[in-house]
A and B are shown apart, each in its own frame.
Chain A
Amino acid sequence: MASLATNLEAQKEPIHVLETDVVIVGGGVAGCLAALGTTEVGARVVICDKCGLLERAGSVGGGTDHFTAVLEEGPEWDTPEYLMSYMPALLEGVADIEAVERLVQGLKPMVHLLEKLGVDFHDPENPDIPYYRHRAFGMPGAYTINFDGTNFKHIIGRSARRAGAKVLERTMVSDLLMVEGRPRGAVAFHIRTGDVYVILGQAVVIATGDANRLGKNASGHAFDSWHFPYNAGEGRAMALRAGARLANMEFVDSTLSPKGYSTQGLNAFVGGGAHFINALGERFMFKYHPDAERGRRSDIINGFITETREGRGPIYCDCTHLPEDEIRRLVNTLGVDRPALPDFFAQKKIDLTKEPFEVCVTEIASVRGGQPFRGSGVHIDKDACSSTPGIFAGGDCSTTSSGIAGATVMGHIAGMNAAHFALSQPKAKPLTSNEKDQIREMLYRPLRLREGISFHAFEDQVRSIVTDYVGYRREEIRMREGLKMLRTLRSQEDRIKAEDYHGVMRVNEARSIRINAEALAVSAIERKETRDGAAHLRLDYPKTDNENELRIIMVEQIGGELRAISRPTGLNPTPPPKKDIS
């Protein structure tokens, strides 16, 4: 039987050329707001996403239940100035404060823009209150709005479509087109039909979310990740190849989850009053944070890892002391974070009222290092512009982010500024047919390979290196060994084979995962201190060093290799006097 690859070799996938002003890579929250920003300025926009439906695309496709905002409703804490006075301390002195300020200033206007689009911020349980708000841990005010955001992504996706964005679904951007250091557009392909899109435009917005599948997990199932596994850091990889810098890549994130299933839900358990206990039956988290289970996530992870390393594992989550009503409420809300979580407990036959269940640390993810308002990824300034003119970024693929709220504000800013930039530039020149043929040839090389390795096998090697050499406990010698291995792995990238167009998508993701891992290693070696609990813990530099390390560590690709550079943040991480942020 002739293989699919052989059949595909005989045919030539059609190449469609689209002309626009701005190309948006990724149709999640940041991408859709970028599309709205672009159209507000009057530029043309094409938005590409791997998902089947823009209205469901991205990690918030299933909905949300909260939004962080400063609203200036009256209380002292409810102003951008008040929140900003805490920001250097909240971010431990490592952040691009001008960009963070832009984000914070943009929250209130964003809430009003979203309301105009149709988002209803009322809490169903408190319908008489315009915004039902609570104080998230560590924040100096009740900035979190609780609301029923089941249709949140549907509304903003539909709005982007109605605003005139041309939408390409099931379409992956494989790379940016660059001419003399400026964007000329992007190359994309349909992950089912194989149709190739050459999208010509003068500016690009990268909005591809965080990077997952980076480290080993308990189940050994690669796509069993805490965050959205289909976000594999592709936008960051594209940015590096286009000459733009990444930053904050040394900070990693993870959570505690029922062992065997990496999932959201930690907040629901600790919020409901659950305790963590070790194998000796001790409630141990007080050793790691005065607020125990309600401490920062990076401190909770640190506690879990230390207990396990010192032989006091397994660690359990215990709800048995909770009133039955609270357990019932907890069980009823588990599916909000992950619809299949109640099924998992049912199949495990766990009765939360009767017994604790074992928890485990999830795989390493590159998101925010446990900090709000500071992300890892494409380094952006207050205008959401990367270090390469014409390339903008927003959301969790970038360095100034704060979940959904951050993605809306910075995505919108990225879209508007990309539009202004695009309209100020000469139109991108069309490609010759020879250039187009070369693009298709490069894109589909993994399909034409007769022999090669699977993306699974390639990625497994990356995950092992990250976990074993640049994981939760870091030291220079091990990390240098790991970095060397990650660089050696690059030579295998051309051998990753795909069986179909969907597989080409996975090959691109696998390559992105490797370069994200390399950026992580380069940055983690450069930061010679421990900071933010488990987000960056060095065994050889166990203390936080505010004398020398209050700096942003960036990586750039020079001659095919990543190298680190840095600049001081100029921030003082001491909290404002007489104010309590715990």
Chain B
Amino acid sequence: MPIVIDPKICREGCTICDYFCPGDIIYRISPKESPVVKYQDECWYCGICADNCPVDAITIVFPENMVNCQTDVRTLMGLPAQNVSRS
């Protein structure tokens, strides 16, 4: 999950992350419940939500294929892979 929101810290009724997310990914459906990351696979990993959260309730967690990317770079240039492709 790219965006982790700590429900213990998240402020009731605040909708900043919902409104600021440029991809329409975070939804605060109920003021009493934490916002929902509704379209996780559409996250840009910009960090605007975490950067603007007034109580620092949001952490950006990069998935394994970003942090430990194993893609053969040649495949991004239209060439066949030489090594094992990405995990």
Contact = CB atoms under 8 A, between A and B. Distances in A.
Contacts of B19: 52-53, 56
A219 B77 contact: no
Contact of A221 (B22, B23, B66, B77): B66
A309 B77 contact: yes
Interface string B50-70: 110000000111110111110
Given A218-B76, A473-B77, A456 B45 contact: no
B46 A339 contact: yes
Contact of B51 (A219, A339, A468, A505): A339
Contacts of A191: 24
| Most chain B Cβ neighbours within 10 Å, of A221, A229, A335, A343 | A221
Contacts of A50: 24
A309 B74 contact: yes
B54 to A, nearest CB: 15
A228 interface: yes
A348 B76 CA distance: 22
B21 A52 contact: yes
B44 A230 contact: yes
B32 interface: no
A344 to B, nearest CB: 6
A348 B75 CA distance: 23
B14 interface: no
Given A219-B66, A230-B22, A472 B78 contact: yes
Interface string B27-51: 0000000000011011111111011
B46 to A, nearest CB: 6
B47 A340 contact: yes
B76 A467 contact: yes
Contacts of B65: 219-221, 260
Contacts of B38: 502
B73 interface: yes
B32 to A, nearest CB: 20
Contacts, number: 146
Question: Number of contact residues on B: which range applies?
Answer: 35 or more
Contacts of A57: 22
B45 A218 contact: no
A515 to B, nearest CB: 21
B62 A313 contact: no
Given A229-B23, A347-B61, A467 B66 contact: no
Nearest to B80: A468
B55 to A, nearest CB: 16
A309 B38 CA distance: 40
Question: Number of contact residues on A: which range applies?
Answer: 35 or more
A218 B24 contact: no
Contacts of B23: 223, 229-230
Contact of A308 (B44, B60, B63, B73): B73
A230 B43 CA distance: 10
A225 interface: yes
B34 to A, nearest CB: 18
B79 interface: yes
A103 interface: no
Contact of A347 (B24, B43, B51, B62): B62
Contacts of A368: none
B73 A340 contact: no
Nearest to A219: B66
Nearest to B26: A52
Contacts of B46: 62, 338-340
| Most chain A Cβ neighbours within 10 Å, of B20, B47, B59 | B47
Interface in A147-180: 170
Contact of A314 (B73, B75, B77): B73
Contact of A456 (B41, B44, B50, B86): B41
A220 B62 contact: no
Nearest to A314: B73
| Most chain B Cβ neighbours within 10 Å, of A170, A191, A216, A363 | A216
A259 interface: yes
B64 to A, nearest CB: 9
B47 to A, nearest CB: 3
A196 B81 CA distance: 47
A309 B74 CA distance: 7
A219 B43 CA distance: 13
Contacts of B39: 502
A260 B69 contact: yes
Nearest to B48: A62
A344 B46 CA distance: 11
Contacts of B24: 50-52, 170, 191-192, 502, 505
Contact of B78 (A220, A343, A467, A505): A467
Given A53-B19, A361-B76, A218 B71 contact: yes
A467 B76 CA distance: 6
A51 B67 contact: no
A216 B73 contact: no
11 contacts: A52-B19, A61-B22, A223-B43, A228-B44, A261-B66, A308-B74, A308-B77, A338-B45, A340-B47, A360-B71, A502-B39
Interface of B: 18-24, 38-39, 41-48, 50-51, 59-63, 65-69, 71, 73-79, 86
Please give me the 5 A-B residue pairs with the lowest Cβ-Cβ distance, nearest first: A340-B47, A260-B69, A339-B47, A339-B51, A52-B19
Given A62-B46, A223-B23, 7 more contacts: A191-B24, A219-B71, A222-B41, A223-B41, A228-B44, A343-B60, A348-B67
